[in-house]
Structure 1
Amino acid sequence: MKILDFLQAENIPFQKLSLYKEAFTHASYANEAHHYNKDYERLEFMGDAVLQLYVSDFLFHLFPDVPEGTLTTLRSKLVREESLARFSKELGLGELLFLGVGEEKSGGRERESVLANIFESFIGALYLDCGKDEVIKILEQTIFQHVNDLDYDDITDYKTTLQELIQADQRKTVTYELLETSGPSNAPEFKVAVIMDEMRLGVGKGTSKKRAEQQAAKDALNKLATSDYLKK
């Protein structure tokens, strides 16, 4: 698909087609095509800043009661390389790339780092050419739709919350004990208990020890919230 076809298919009211060509030009192509010496890196810089602003604004209003640290983690998950490459694929941006011969042969068109870069450079070009409203339309098709895909148990640090609660009341620490590992070697499941003074406060399962520990801490917090522990 040509860049012009893509812009028309997305109903983007573009003014400067050259900006989008720059957004999809890899350095390898710019180096080989002596008649064209611009690549996407400057627009990638701009797009990164635009994404940080509008994704932050979206999350800030979507989660009015979520603290700064959690919002930062949410944003980082939405704009990390893996995520941006996914959104780039959804839009078919890889097909629009201008690549050098060597980069083409080595699979650059499918490389996550490149796909993430051109998502940012495309956003940068779109912002400079059309402004905020058109950027938001693209973000609504991509990033904003995937907020619910995030693993919130990875984002919420139940272990820290539990430790702070215990220390505030009794100045004690908790430990985590692996109870069992089950499932195949390529997809194991871990079962972990969180313990204080030989008393099991909670149990959790997860696809990694870290996730199992977070689930155990979450289980402990839920139990403590309904017990006499917090009423002392």
Structure 2
Amino acid sequence: MNAPLFWPARGAGASEAIVLALPKGRLLGELGPLLARAGIEPDPDFADESSRRLRFGTNERGLEVVRVRSFDVATFVAFGAAALGVVGSDVLAEFDYPELYAPLDLRLGRCRLSIAAPEADAASSDDGSRWSQVRVATKYPNITRRHFAARGVTADVVHLSGAMELAPSLGLSRLILDLVQTGSTLRANGLVEIEHVADVSARLIVNRTALKTRPDLLGAWIARFRAAVAG
């Protein structure tokens, strides 16, 4: 059995639990077995996305879990509201917070960031090599601008939170940049992948300040997650 881990007290006689920030949505279901192998058992309603609670206790006296939107996990950890978190490498690349350390690929939530275009455009002779500017719909404005700037193209970003696949057919943008897993949603909306941008998977992230001030404690949690991934 794993030994309990405790968050050092900030004041005499006071204790503060470590907060582990986890993402809502598809990745949350994949995390269940990994958490179990790490010896973490959240409150029973943690996996119930209809529950209105966002903060949960665990079987570890020194650990609490919060359930937030995937894009918010990085912010919670970067600003010290949580010491640990699980987030996609796409989110890390988008925000690029210097306060975050990502020591471990959890090998979950694997997919890819890709650029897609309408089938007719993809089949045309215009391969984009002579573009100076292009309009792209995405929820990753920073990644998009960096990607096109590297080839000397200005990306006019239309920032959407979802339904990117609609943008080209409705004249909102020429291209989209989004996560792709199977490609079925693209195909259903008349789009095809034209460029692979990056592979994506879930990462364990740690607040750098917390790791410096509590290296033994957070190092032990990192080791437990590493063993869980290996197991």
Question: Which structure: larger Rg?
Answer: 1
Band of TM-score, shorter chain: under 0.3
Structure showing the higher strand proportion among its residues: 2
